[in-house]
């Protein structure tokens, strides 16, 4: 019986299918190195508390150090073991003998062991995600600083709405990714608590020192309740949730890159390195990177859905279902991290067509709002009246003085020329650059306001 867990209560007559079905070996590659560190911390604590003898501790630490150097031996990954924890214990015993090797699992269980490993690995993944978000924000802020005067159309309902600037548009995404960083950091704080020593769920009668192992493994503190420590995966749900929200932001930005790179719009060209071509249509340059990332957002949301569904019906405390959650966690956080890294590169190498943006910036009467505001501010109309007058002129197909005058007479029975409106004043109101410069309230697109915003966001970053 290679699996030492099956020479007591249970026989080892299982089919290979069942072994494969029960084993978490594939996903356990993610946590193998963490498991060695968990073993070392536990061993140091057992020795410190004199729960284990000097000779056994030396022999075990020697074997663990060699596993750390060379990796856990290949035979530990055999699917006859349910998981890397059982496989590694067998490998340790094979290395140092059962008299010493059979003593490491005092005062713990695989339940607290696996939860500790997952949290340690997840810390690294979250830190990787956070670093990637920071790099992406850096790219967005640098682009925004360079494009404060780049006038472009702003959209609602994907219809030309009001002129804005590319800086303003990019700062909108930067704000979203700033919140994503906060969500990841917040999740990190709750991931960083140590379950080790909870054992199966009821803690242990050995005189263990949970604060010591938690400290050695870099955790903020031991988890407060030993049943919660092995039962909960809410830290995984929270991390996947932060990744899911972040990926919705990334996906929206990618959707815009797809739309903007189409021949209808032509606001952006992605670099060749982020594009693909067609096997049949030789002219094609496709924004595949942005499309794959849009789909990765679905993969991450799917991981969250899988993980929440697996957890929701479980009674206290540990249930084997939890093993099936872990691959969703790795798939989700890895897809999110990889996406954010690629997104920063895709944006920093993209070419924005500022002439095209300028040419579109007053299409579709998109400066009509500013014109209505001028009629209010300078010619005394109530806003709703100005809105109707300008709207009627748009319906007539022109925003010139004569059409506005006729619209004002028709809609409100008043004369704008009598109030002093001139053709020059109308023309100035329709200039997208002037319209943008007027919008200098906090968070607006005016170049002096986006300069302030870029500086503030740089400080935050």
φ/ψ (deg, to 5) at 10: -115, 145
Which residues, including other chains, have CB under 8 Å from residue 27's CB and lie 6 or more apart? 326, 327, 330
Our answer to whether residue 278 is catalytic in this structure is yes
320 lies in the site for ligand ARG, by CB under 6 A: yes
**Which region among 33-41, 110-118, 211-219, 372-380 touches ligand ARG (by CB under 6 A)?**
110-118
User: Rule CB under 6 A: is residue 110 a binding residue for ligand ARG?
Assistant: yes
The distance of closest approach from Cβ of residue 23 to ligand ARG in the complex, given in angstroms and rounded to an integer, is 8
Both structure tokens of 243: 């990744």
279 in active site: no
Per DSSP (E only), the strands in 119-232 are 151-156, 159-165, 193-194, 221-222
Q: Which of 1, 20, 66, 278 is catalytic?
A: 278
Closest CB to ligand ARG among 88 and 294? Answer: 88
- Of 340, 179, 176, residue with least CA distance to 249: 176
Q: Which of 165, 213, 239, 323 binds ligand ARG (CB under 6 A)?
A: 323
Q: Which is nearer to ligand ARG, 114 or 408 (CB)?
A: 114
Q: DSSP states of 356-392 as a string? A: HHHHHTTGGGTTHHHHHHHHHHHH---HHHHHHHHHH
Distances in whole angstroms, Cα of residue 412 to Cα of each of 388, 389, 390 = 9, 8, 11
Nearest distance in Å: CB 117, ligand ARG: 9
* Of positions 162, 289, 326, 435, contacts ligand ARG by CB under 6 A: 326
Nearest to ligand ARG of 109, 366 (CB atom):
109
CA atoms within 13 A on the CB side of 238: 19
- Residue 224 structure tokens: 């407060």
Task: Closer to ligand ARG by CB, 83 or 373: give it.
Answer: 83
Q: Which of 157, 203, 241, 348 is catalytic?
A: 157
245 binds ligand ARG (CB under 6 A): no
Residues 65-94 that bind ligand ARG (CB under 6 A): 82-83
- Joined together, the tokens standing for residue 39 give 């073993």
The residues carrying an active-site annotation are 157, 278
Q: Which residues bind ligand ARG (CB under 6 A)?
A: 24, 82-83, 110-111, 114, 318, 320, 322-323, 326
């Amino acid at each position: 019986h290679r699996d030492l867990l099956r020479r007591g209560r249970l026989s080892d007559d299982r089919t290979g299918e069942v072994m494969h079905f029960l084993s978490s070996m594939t996903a356990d590659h993610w946590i193998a190195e963490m498991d060695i560190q968990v073993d070392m911390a536990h061993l140091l604590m057992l020795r410190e508390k004199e729960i284990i003898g000097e000779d056994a501790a030396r022999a075990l630490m020697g074997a663990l150090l060699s596993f750390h150097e060379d990796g856990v031996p290949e035979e530990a990954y055999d699917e006859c073991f349910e998981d890397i924890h059982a496989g590694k214990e067998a490998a340790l015993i094979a290395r140092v003998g059962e008299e010493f090797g059979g003593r490491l699992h005092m005062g713990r269980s695989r339940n607290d062991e696996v939860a500790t490993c997952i949290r340690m690995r997840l810390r690294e993944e979250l830190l990787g995600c956070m670093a990637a978000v920071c790099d992406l924000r850096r790219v967005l802020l640098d682009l925004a600083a360079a494009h404060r005067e780049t006038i472009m159309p702003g959209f609602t309902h994907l219809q030309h709405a009001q002129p804005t600037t590319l800086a303003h548009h990019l700062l909108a995404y930067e704000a979203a990714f700033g919140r994503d960083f906060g969500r990841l950091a917040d999740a990190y704080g709750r991931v960083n608590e140590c379950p080790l020593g909870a054992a199966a769920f009821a803690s242990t009668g050995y005189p263990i020192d949970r604060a010591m192992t938690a400290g050695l493994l870099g955790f903020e503190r031991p988890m407060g309740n030993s049943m919660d420590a092995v039962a909960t995966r809410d830290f995984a749900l929270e991390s996947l949730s932060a990744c899911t929200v972040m990926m919705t932001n990334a996906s929206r930005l990618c959707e815009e890159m797809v739309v903007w790179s189409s021949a209808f719009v032509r606001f952006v060209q992605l670099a060749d390195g982020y594009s693909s071509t067609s096997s049949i249509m030789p002219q094609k340059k496709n924004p595949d990177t942005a499309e794959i990332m849009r789909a990765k957002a679905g993969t991450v949301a799917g991981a969250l859905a899988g993980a929440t569904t697996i957890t929701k019906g479980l009674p206290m405390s540990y249930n084997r279902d939890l093993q099936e959650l872990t691959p969703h966690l790795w798939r989700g956080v890895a897809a999110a991290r990889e996406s954010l890294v690629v997104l920063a590169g895709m944006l920093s190498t993209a070419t924005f067509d500022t002439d095209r943006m300028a040419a579109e910036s007053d299409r579709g009467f998109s400066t009509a709002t500013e014109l209505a505001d001028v009629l209010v501010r300078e010619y005394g109309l109530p806003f709703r009246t100005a809105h109707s007058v300008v709207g009627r002129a748009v319906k007539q197909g022109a925003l010139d003085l004569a059409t506005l005058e006729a619209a004002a007479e028709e809609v409100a029975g008043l004369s704008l020329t009598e109030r002093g409106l001139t053709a020059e004043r109308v023309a100035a109101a329709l200039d997208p650059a002037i319209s943008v410069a007027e919008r200098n309230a906090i968070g607006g697109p005016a170049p002096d306001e986006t300069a302030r915003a870029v500086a503030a966001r740089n400080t935050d970053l």
